[in-house]
Structure 1
C-alpha cells in the first residue's frame, strides 16, 4: 500500500487489506487510542479489552445474521441467540464434555499423542517441511473425524470437502461474495454424507459423538434431522479451523523466538500455560461480529440500535490497560484471561479439546524436530483477517528425533 493510501484508510480498512495480514498489531494499537468509532460502512469498531469483554457477554447484542449484518450464514447455533442457541448448545455439549462426560477430552490424550507422533514420523528423511500441510491441518481434522465417528476409509473425501468449504471463506475480504460453486457443492456433499452417517446411527449406536447426538434422550428432547446435520457440520469445521491456526501460529512464534522452542523442549510441563499465552499473543480468531438490539453506550459513544459491531478480540488481548508488557510472549503469564476463545455464552465450546491438541502438537514439534529454521518470514498468510494464520509454514530441518 502507498503512504497516501495509508493515510486515507481507517485502521479497520487497513486490517482488512491482505497487505496487513502478517502484522496487524500496530494497527490494533492505533485502534485502541480511539477505542470506539464508526466506520464508513456504518459499523462500530470496539477495541479495548474492558469494552470487548463486556460487550461479548452483553445480552443486548445479537449474533443472529438479521441483527448482525456480517455475523455469518446462520447455519448453526453459533449464529443463534437464546433460547434456540441455549437448547442446541446444551444438547451438543452433553456429549462433548462436562458435566455429562467430564473425562471425555482428557481420555483422548493417548490417541492424540499417537496421531501427532505418526504425522511427525512421516517427516523423517526430509530436509524441508510445511508445518501447516504436514501437521497443523491433518491433525485436528483427523481428531474431529474420529470424534464424530467418520470411518477412516472415508476421511480423504471428508478432508477434501472440509478444505473446499474452508477455502471459500479464505478469500480477499475486499471482494465479498457468496461461496463458490465448488464450495457450495462440497457443502451439499458433506451434508448428505453426514445425513447418511446419522441415519446409520439411529437405533444402532456406536462409540462416537454422532451416535450420542442421534440417540440422545436428555431433558431437551431430540434434535431435528436438519439440526443434527448443521451441528455435525459445525463440529467438523469449527473443530479444526481454530486449532490449525493455533498450532501454526505457535510454531511460527517459537521459530522466531528460539528461546521459547528451547523452553518447551526443556520444560514440557509448561505447555498448558504456554498455549494460553499463545491464545493471547497470536490468537487464531482476531475479531467477531455482533448487532446492537438497543442503543448502547460504550466508551462515551452511543451505538444505535440495529448497528453492526465489530469486537476486536486480538486488539483487546494486547491491551496494555489489562496486560503488562502485552507485546511480549510471557510463557507463565499470571491471570491470563485473554479473549482468544471469546467469552460468554458463545465462547468456543471446543476450547478444551483445542487446548489439548495445541499442547500436544507444540510439545512434540519442539521436542522432535532437529534444528528447525524458518524458510520464509513472514510466511504466506491466509486472506481471511478473522481466522488469521499462515497458509503455509515452510521450515528447514536437519532431521527428526525418533
Structure 2
C-alpha cells in the first residue's frame, strides 16, 4: 500500500488537532496533484490569485445556494440577499444588532453562575450564533433541534472526506431537501404575517423575485441558516482555546476590551474556522509552473496560505498586534488573512461573525474568573475543512456578576484617562 500523501494525512483525524506542520510540508510543493486527479494549492499568493481568477468556478456540487454559483448569477443573488443585511442599502444592520448580541451573551454567561466546569461548545459557542442567526432570519429558535440534525449531516457531507463516503453525501442531500421544505413553509408564514427580520424583508420585496426563484430563495435561506452559525461556532471555540493557551492575550482583553478587535483578526489568520475550500478549473491553468487541466477540482488550503512565511513574518506565532492599525513596522499586506476567503465569494456573514466573536471573547474574558483548559488538545470535529473542537471543557473559579464587571471597567477606564 502506498504511503499516505500529505493531503491525505491532513484529512486523517489523527492530525486534526495540529495540521500546521503538515501545511508547512505541503507548501514545499506549491501545487500537488493527488491520485484522484484533484490539485491542492497551499501558498498565499497562489490562493489569492485563484480566488480572483474568473477561470475557476465555484460550481462544485457539494453545497447549494449562491455560494455554489459564479458571476453574474452569484452577484445578482448576493445583492438581493444583502439588501437588508449590509451596505449599501442597510449599512448599519450588524451594528444595530450589537446590543442584542451582548444581551444574548450576557444571558448565556449568567446561566453558568454556580458552575465551575462547562463545555464552551455546548454551553456557549453553539447557542450564541444559533440564537443570533435565528433572530436575524426570523427562524423560531424552538426549531433548533430539527435543523441541528440537518446541519450535522451537511457538515459530514462536504469536504474532501465526503468524496469517498457515498452515505455521507446522500445524508447531506437529504438534509438540504429537508431544510428547503422547512423554509418553504416558513417563507409562506412570513409572507402572510411579516416581521422585522431578514426573511420577512426578502419575501415582501418584489425585487427579490427578480433575482431568484422561490426555489432559489428557499435554498439560499437554508444556506444562510447553516453557514450563519456553523463556522462561527468554530471561530469562537478556536478563539477561546487559543486565548487559554496564551493567557497574556486573554488578560489584555480583560483589561483592554478594544484589544479584542485585532485579536479576532489574528484568530482568523492563526486558527481559522474554515481550512480549505474547493473550486473547479474552467480552462487549463498555469499555477506556480504546474498545468492544471480544465475540469480539474482544486483545493485551496486557506489555513496554509494564512501561515505562509512568504506572506507574513513568524507565521506560527500568535500575535494580535500584527493587526493593530497603529503598528507601522508591518507592510499592510502582512496583516491580511484568508479567514473569510476572498474576492466575490468573501464570506457573506463576516460582519456578523466578527461582531459575535468580539463580544463573546470579551465577555468570557471579563466574567470567567481564572479559566483553564481541562483537555488539551480537546476532541475535534471530523471535518478537516470546517475545523474546530467538538467539545472544549474548561474549569473556572466563579462567574463574575455583570454589574461587578461593569463597575470594574468604568473604574479602569477612569484610571487610564487620568494617566
Given that 2:280 and 2:295 are in contact with CA atoms closer than 8 Å, whether structure 1 keeps it comes out as: yes
Q: CA deviation at 1:229?
A: 0.7
Gaps of 5+ in 1: 66-70
Matches within 5 A, 1:322-341: 322-334=311-323, 335=332, 336-341=335-340
Match of 2:274 among 280, 285, 288: 285
Q: CA deviation at 1:378?
A: 0.5
Q: CA deviation at 1:82?
A: 1.7
Match of 1:58 among 53, 59, 65: 53
Q: CA deviation at 1:201?
A: 2.2
Q: Distance in 1 between matches of 2:342 and 2:73?
A: 18
Q: CA deviation at 1:295?
A: 1.0
Equivalenced residues, count:
391
The two structures have a TM-score, normalised by structure 2, of: 0.88
Matches within 5 A, 1:288-327: 288-327=277-316
Q: Which deviates the most, 149-158 or 253-262?
A: 149-158
SS at match of 1:310: strand
Q: CA deviation at 1:41?
A: 1.3
Q: Distance in 2 between matches of 1:131 and 1:299?
A: 41
Given that 1:291 and 1:306 are in contact with CA atoms closer than 8 Å, whether structure 2 keeps it comes out as: yes
- In structure 2, the partner of 1:362 is 361
Given that 1:113 and 1:360 are in contact with CA atoms closer than 8 Å, whether structure 2 keeps it comes out as: yes
| Residues 240/371 of structure 1: CA separation in 2 closer, same or farther (3 Å cut) | same
Q: Distance in 2 between matches of 1:122 and 1:10?
A: 46
| Residues 401/164 of structure 1: CA separation in 2 closer, same or farther (3 Å cut) | farther
* Offset from partner CA, 1:78-97 (integer Å, 9 cap, x none): 11112221111111111111
Given that 1:294 and 1:304 are in contact with CA atoms closer than 8 Å, whether structure 2 keeps it comes out as: yes
The answer to which structure has the higher helix fraction is 2
Matches within 5 A, 1:188-337: 188-202=177-191, 204-218=193-207, 221=210, 223-334=212-323, 335=332, 336-337=335-336
Q: CA RMSD in A?
A: 2.1
Q: CA deviation at 1:394?
A: 0.6
SS at match of 2:278: strand
* Offset from partner CA, 1:136-173 (integer Å, 9 cap, x none): 11100110001011234444544454445445559965
| Residues 163/35 of structure 1: CA separation in 2 closer, same or farther (3 Å cut) | closer
Q: Distance in 1 between matches of 2:109 and 2:212?
A: 39
Q: Distance in 2 between matches of 1:165 and 1:307?
A: 23
- In structure 2, the partner of 1:15 is 10
Given that 1:170 and 1:383 are in contact with CA atoms closer than 8 Å, whether structure 2 keeps it comes out as: no
Given that 1:137 and 1:244 are in contact with CA atoms closer than 8 Å, whether structure 2 keeps it comes out as: yes
Q: Distance in 2 between matches of 1:170 and 1:302?
A: 23
SS at match of 1:395: strand
Q: Which deviates the most, 168-177 or 340-349?
A: 168-177
Q: Distance in 2 between matches of 1:274 and 1:292?
A: 35
Q: Distance in 2 between matches of 1:246 and 1:64?
A: 26
Matches within 5 A, 1:168-187: 176-179=165-168, 187=176
